[in-house]
Structure 1
Amino acid sequence: MAIFDIQLPPGIAKALRLPQNSASRQQDRVLRKLLRKARFTKFGQKYRFDEILMAKNPNARFQELVPTYNYNRIYDEWWHLTLEGQQDVCWPKKIKYYALSSGTSESASKYIPITSDLLKGNRIVMIKQLLSLRNYTDIPVKSIGKGWLMLGGSTALQKESGYYAGDLSGITAKKVPFWFQRFYKPGKKIARERDWNKKLEDIVSKAKDWDIGFIVGVPAWIQMCMEMIIERYGVKNIHDIWPNLAFCVHGGVSFEPYKKGFEKLLGKPLTYIETYLASEGFIAYQDRQHAKGMRLVTNEHIFFEFVPFDHVNFDSAGDMISNPQALTIKDVEEGKDYAILLSTSAGAWRYLIGDTIKFVDKKRCEIVITGRTKHFLSLVGEHLSVDNMNKAVQMVGEELNVSIPEYTVIGEPYETFFCHRWYVACDDTVDKDLLCTKIDEKLKQLNDDYAVERKSALKEVFLEVLPEESFMEFMRVKGKVGGQHKFPRVLKGKMLEDWKKFLNQ
């Protein structure tokens, strides 16, 4: 039996566009809605959106006429015009807000357009997620009406020439609906603070005065905040301060590596709710207890295409070919890795977001994030995904009864062949050689290609154990603290160079 039952009036259910029919038909309507809204923009005129709308099969015609984009290409061809103040470029009117996003592998900030239509769609999805709590059981109802501590970016946005820029979580918090303000913590004053360390200190100082039911954010920063509160007030666990804390809403990275560390800070179990909110839009959310994955948002403000993540569509560096095979939702299969293309109500068109997912329940449109197109290791054909690594770390952590909240891996030449080098955060006492052997064994079990290559060209696996603080300090040095920033699971390019310099220092 559900913890509470909400009977929505038909008009509200229709306004929220709660799922009533197939995901494929919902996606058809979303694409048409996006095309109609943007048909008079410069992008819509060039790629003949009117013609696509009149086609017998708009989906197929859309793929024929509109090319695929990564960030660099769409910025160079289109989005730079919006930053220069032009309107009606890829979406109607002038873009007033941009989410600054550098992902987890690149140094330069990306400017992702944020429109009122996108924020409206995100808010509707957030309401749907809140309403989905009626599908949960055995959790305290009273916690639902308590405070929501949202550990996001600063709402004090950078004012540029004709627009504002900042973290998406900061933009979202700045525009929080009036009815939600009584629940919202840390409040407007603290939320404006740009210095993440100062913001954490302010939150810790106020923590004893709040009655928190939900805590929301990236797992690493949530854990750090709870540890600071426990230390400041000399209590045994976070529930000594917040007895009604019942929900942890998290996203951005796999939660499993953090779970053991979290549980040490609790006085009673939490209900964990996963979300998939990217700078480009609210993509998916967990809508029921013990779900296999997150439900894809198919009926709101994003049209999805799925590119099989294989050697046919991607090169060895993780770059997508110019004309990939792109499937719509009706043609995907469970258990296969796909890169996502988004078309959104902020003027992203067939845009490669860089994440890889797989469907774990196609009927329910439930997905899990398996990694990023750039964050995988395949030096010699081992095809090691972040999903494989997360599972191996989780299994070994449970077997050895240690907490491994962070890790990163690099691939590099070794003698005449190659090796993987792991850097693992663990504040528990652990034998690094045993840890290395165990992770290697689990990866062989999880990935046949890895097992084969460990007998040939992938000659060695090395592992170093570092304090968790080392990982956090590197993020501080890089200016990637708080909000949606998370440590990359695979290091390449400039980030790898900076990591090696950091370790040498």
Structure 2
Amino acid sequence: MPLLGKLIKKSIDVANELFEEDKNPVEAQSEALRNLLESAKNTDFGRRYQFNEILKSEDVAKSFRVSVPCFDYHRMFGEWWHKTVEGIPDVTWPGSPEYFALSSGTTGSKSKRIPVTKEMIEAIRSTGIKQVMSLSDYDLPDEFFQKGILMLGSSTELEERNGHLEGEISGISASNIPFWFKGYYKPGEEIAKIQDWDERVQRIAEQAPNWDIGALSGIPSWIELMLKKVIEHNNLKNIHEIWPSLSVFTTGGVPFEPHQESFEKLLDHPLLYLDTYLASEGFIALQVRPNEDMSMQLAYDGGIYFEFIPFQPEYFDENGAPFEDAPALSLAQVEEGNEYAMLISTVSGAWRYSIGDTIKFTNKEKAEIKITGRTKFFLNVVGSQLSVNKMTDAIQKLEEEYKMSISEFTVAAVKHDGEFYHQWVIGSGNESNTDEEALARTLDEALKNVNKNYGVARSKALKGVKLKLASPETFYDWAEQTKKKGGQIKIPQMMSESEMKAFLEFIS
């Protein structure tokens, strides 16, 4: 085996042993909170909420929770971050950030601007290195560790605005990769700067024969489209014909399970799949050890302090924002199996900030989680309380029963003749020869089996299920029309009624 690969793998093994000496997650979180408060105590925000006094209290976590209200993006921006965007320093974090991450979430709304400080860049980089180090726990050949890593994110060509740079978080992160990593990083700086997604993918397809790729990283739907383009352009049967060393796919952004079947049709053999949770607000969690359900470990020592609100309807408004009196728990207080919405406080000056995602703990001792959905979901208007993970379970039932591959789906609660229905659109390559009404009945029964609240709603306010089949490409064309293609763009798995009506018009 190549000597270089052995040396790199040995270095990773040694570094990983050092990472394994990390503190207990609960202790690390307590230290993280103190460090955050100490760093920001002289900012406008720190003086307003008396961080100095909080640091003197016997129970810092409790005092912080009582003294500082919850914020969602709109409140944080309206009261504080708009000053940061205008160039005023020391608002919620010392100094002024060099970057702002642009994020429209999954709704296609006007881009949010989220500060990204130098401390956050370093935290993201350290957490990313930790995931690379964890690869020593997997049965990978020595030569893997000298192969290229193709990261398909947003453009690294950032826009200058009022003295700072703006772009999506994947583009900001890729533009700040360590110097020693640049030899492994693909598609390289020149291609990564191309703004147009189709043009960037075309250049990747053209250069693909010159690369020896061992790992992929990106959102599943866009990685899949990229692989199809490489295969088509180079007249291949599968991607392993051109990249025989391809062994790892680091996924993230959306659940991978609905994409796995169609994804593996592009391969000669399955890959090692690792999950990540990189948001515009920071690197939230990463998979650090082999496990069957792809559980991720919270980045508890990555410049973020976490709190957890039990995900119950009485604690959130209709937009998914937590109420002022919603109870928030520390990492020490959570329980495995329960569903929580997360609040984060970060080295970019987010404070008790509702990130909008829901999670459940799969291993509290190791601080490992699975993402279950979003706090802002529209299907609760009739009490169905459907989360993304329950919908994914039902979608997998359809795949098994009808021998079909479903790579995209979305759903909304809509009204017909005064009655509520759940309108589904399913993206599948089988759309031309499958009975939509039969699919709707099977989906309805599967949802009743996985969610008792859904069953109750179906017996009362929820009249029925309507289902429309479309090709997966229709979803991507819709994304291109309403937002843009590729990068960090996620296909929304839940829509509002107006969004669904617009999408159905687009399909027809």
Match of 1:344 in 2: 346
Q: Distance in 2 between matches of 1:317 and 1:176?
A: 36
Q: Distance in 2 between matches of 1:166 and 1:397?
A: 37
1:320 Cα deviation from its structure 2 partner: 1.8
Is the contact between residue 376 and residue 385 of structure 1 (CA under 8 Å) also seen in structure 2?
no
TM-score (norm 2): 0.94
Match of 2:193 in 1: 192
1:364 Cα deviation from its structure 2 partner: 1.8
* Amino acid corresponding to residue 492 of structure 2 in structure 1: P
Q: Distance in 2 between matches of 1:23 and 1:494?
A: 43
Q: Distance in 2 between matches of 1:19 and 1:318?
A: 38
Match of 1:485 among 489, 497, 503: 489
1:492 Cα deviation from its structure 2 partner: 1.2
Q: How does 1:15-26 map to 2 (within 5 A)?
A: 18=20, 20-26=22-28
Match of 2:14 among 4, 8, 20: 8
In structure 2, relative to structure 1, the CA distance for the partners of 1:19 and 1:277 (3 Å cut) is: farther
Is the contact between residue 409 and residue 489 of structure 1 (CA under 8 Å) also seen in structure 2?
yes
1:46 Cα deviation from its structure 2 partner: 1.0
Secondary structure of 2:315's aligned partner: coil
Is the contact between residue 205 and residue 234 of structure 2 (CA under 8 Å) also seen in structure 1?
no
Secondary structure of 1:343's aligned partner: strand
Match of 2:58 in 1: 56
Match of 2:3 in 1: none
Secondary structure of 2:314's aligned partner: coil
Q: How does 1:71-470 map to 2 (within 5 A)?
A: 71-137=73-139, 139-292=140-293, 293-428=295-430, 429-470=433-474
Deviations 1:3-58 (A, max 9, x none): 96655379x93xx6x55342211100000111111111111111111111111111
Deviations 1:372-396 (A, max 9, x none): 1113511221111111111111222
* Amino acid corresponding to residue 170 of structure 1 in structure 2: G
TM-score (norm 1): 0.95
Q: Distance in 1 between matches of 2:450 and 2:14?
A: 44
Secondary structure of 2:14's aligned partner: coil
In structure 2, relative to structure 1, the CA distance for the partners of 1:493 and 1:444 (3 Å cut) is: closer
Q: 361-370 or 271-280, which moves further after superposition?
A: 361-370
Match of 2:476 in 1: 472
* Amino acid corresponding to residue 55 of structure 1 in structure 2: S
Is the contact between residue 170 and residue 488 of structure 2 (CA under 8 Å) also seen in structure 1?
yes
Secondary structure of 1:378's aligned partner: helix
Q: 316-325 or 296-305, which moves further after superposition?
A: 316-325
In structure 2, relative to structure 1, the CA distance for the partners of 1:503 and 1:443 (3 Å cut) is: same
Q: Distance in 2 between matches of 1:23 and 1:290?
A: 19
Q: Distance in 2 between matches of 1:270 and 1:339?
A: 31
Is the contact between residue 251 and residue 276 of structure 1 (CA under 8 Å) also seen in structure 2?
yes
In structure 2, relative to structure 1, the CA distance for the partners of 1:386 and 1:29 (3 Å cut) is: same
* Amino acid corresponding to residue 450 of structure 2 in structure 1: L
Where does structure 1 lack aligned partners over 5 or more consecutive residues?
Answer: none
Where does structure 2 lack aligned partners over 5 or more consecutive residues?
Answer: 1-5
Secondary structure of 1:453's aligned partner: helix
1:430 Cα deviation from its structure 2 partner: 2.4
Q: Distance in 1 between matches of 2:341 and 2:15?
A: 38
Is the contact between residue 246 and residue 271 of structure 1 (CA under 8 Å) also seen in structure 2?
yes
* Amino acid corresponding to residue 284 of structure 1 in structure 2: A
Is the contact between residue 248 and residue 272 of structure 2 (CA under 8 Å) also seen in structure 1?
yes
1:503 Cα deviation from its structure 2 partner: 3.3
Q: Distance in 2 between matches of 1:240 and 1:234?
A: 10
In structure 2, relative to structure 1, the CA distance for the partners of 1:266 and 1:495 (3 Å cut) is: same
- The CA RMSD over aligned residues, in Å, is 1.8
* Amino acid corresponding to residue 465 of structure 2 in structure 1: V
Deviations 1:352-388 (A, max 9, x none): 0001111111122111111111135112211111111
1:402 Cα deviation from its structure 2 partner: 1.0
Give the count of matched residue pairs: 497
Consecutive aligned runs of 4 or more in structure 1 exceeding 3 Å deviation: 3-10, 18-21, 493-498
1:291 Cα deviation from its structure 2 partner: 4.4
Secondary structure of 2:420's aligned partner: strand
* Amino acid corresponding to residue 14 of structure 2 in structure 1: L
Q: Distance in 2 between matches of 1:123 and 1:135?
A: 20
